Structure 1
């Protein structure tokens, strides 16, 4: 049976798997669905419509499924979807989506989201990311798999952070950050490749060398963006397993709407 603290307030319209744990003074509203094995800490507030998947840990005082902080929001039935295996620390705030976008704020699987993180409306957060304390993602931000967002980093609305990228402490992200890159500062600057992250994820030396070559073409050889993209594309077929890395970077560059940090 679910372990529900007697002081928790759970709406009859909420759906909780029998294995869910809910701590003291938590409030769970109508339209909230919580999956197997998830634990919800003391004083958390969950507002629907939202889905919280399996095996998540939500620490005390988190507020999930909040009304979007967007003055255009007029009460439409938008949602928050959170996947499986996430750890969400104290005082985090996640907003639902808006109809001006897809209507859904989405958080993937196995993310490590530290205290006081804000995820605004329509954010699309991938899998296996780390968001350090007080990181703030404005509306419509996209963050790729395995990215790390440093503490007190602010990400401007509509910006994208690519897979395997990392932002340093107190970074000001107002343009798109390509995959694999290490960035920091205000104004934001690229300082190299996220080498340690790639090694931890099992990238071969050859793949890492190719990622470094892509960085050099994009940032060090004085090429225009179009020329850099052509040179990166010409690397196809040269490294075992490397074509996926090329496609990840080139697809990101093509999809960028705010322009990349350069």
Structure 2
């Protein structure tokens, strides 16, 4: 066990031998922190939370009450292998959130980046990869193997099917079900989710130079209004690769997309 003298642990909480707590970590009342957990400096864990498994949490995160972090995943093939959950820095996690560790059939880890906001009752399934600066609304869930790129927005009461990818600054409107991949900057809505335009209020879009914003809009037109095939759009991307840096975001997305894109 390695607990910083500057960490604070409520007297009613259980911290097992083998836990590492950094400076200024705060563990609220009635929490259970199991052996193998590492919690970085300044992270706050509210009351009645359970953190278990081989879970590593970075610095300055906030976890709401009754969070369940690093528990056994819901994959029936899981047989107790030493898989992990890795969470970055400055994430804000609401009450009753659940984050599951990975599986050896996947990437053996669930990975969450930095500066994300997960509201109440959010579920992140096994082997998910979440980028930076994403937002997930109340009662929404990511099934296993879901990947979110940076700055993805997901509303409340949304369901993201396993193995789906959501590209940079994609947005899923509240009460939607996503069963295929959502390209960068696309707004998806409905059950099953369909494209509803460009997320032109996203910080990642607003940060682009005007000529690149125009390209993003043109690509949306080619995907959804000109009835071009994916291969035809990919050829368009290849032709403009050297002139438009944003094309690298699309190339990476299509290189890894396997479920087909929403239509």
TM-score by length of 1: 0.95
Matches within 5 A, 1:123-142: 123-142=128-147
Aligned with residue 87 of structure 2, among 73, 82, 86: 82
Aligned with residue 209 of structure 2, among 182, 185, 204: 204
SS at structure 1 position matched to 2:201: helix
**Which position in structure 2 is the counterpart of 1:255?**
256
Question: Does 2:239 match 1:234?
Answer: yes
SS at structure 2 position matched to 1:74: coil
Question: Does 2:94 match 1:93?
Answer: no
Aligned mates of 1:210, 1:78 — CA distance in 2: 41
**Which position in structure 1 is the counterpart of 2:3?**
none
Aligned mates of 2:227, 2:84 — CA distance in 1: 44
Aligned mates of 2:207, 2:258 — CA distance in 1: 31
Aligned with residue 32 of structure 2, among 12, 24, 27: 27
Aligned mates of 2:259, 2:93 — CA distance in 1: 29
Assess if the C-alpha contact under 8 Å between 1:80 and 1:104 holds in 2: yes
Matches within 5 A, 1:12-51: 12-51=17-56
The CA RMSD measured in Å over matched residues stands at: 1.3
Aligned mates of 1:109, 1:123 — CA distance in 2: 14
Q: What's the CA shift for 1:206?
A: 2.3
Question: Does 2:162 match 1:157?
Answer: yes
Per-residue Cα deviation, 1:156-214 (whole angstroms, up to 9, x for no partner)? 11111111100001111110111111111012110111001147752232221111011
Give the direction of change, closer, same or farther, for the CA distance of 1:8–1:201 in structure 2 (3 Å limit).
farther
Question: Does 2:149 match 1:144?
Answer: yes
Assess if the C-alpha contact under 8 Å between 2:155 and 2:174 holds in 1: yes
SS at structure 2 position matched to 1:251: helix
Assess if the C-alpha contact under 8 Å between 2:151 and 2:204 holds in 1: no
Structure 2 residue ranges without an equivalent (≥5): 1-5
Q: How many residues align?
A: 258
Aligned mates of 2:87, 2:198 — CA distance in 1: 29
Give the direction of change, closer, same or farther, for the CA distance of 1:199–1:119 in structure 2 (3 Å limit).
closer
**Which position in structure 1 is the counterpart of 2:109?**
104
Assess if the C-alpha contact under 8 Å between 1:217 and 1:231 holds in 2: no
SS at structure 2 position matched to 1:253: helix
Structure 1 residue ranges without an equivalent (≥5): none
Aligned mates of 1:252, 1:73 — CA distance in 2: 29
TM-score by length of 2: 0.95
Per-residue Cα deviation, 1:124-150 (whole angstroms, up to 9, x for no partner)? 111110011111100011110000111
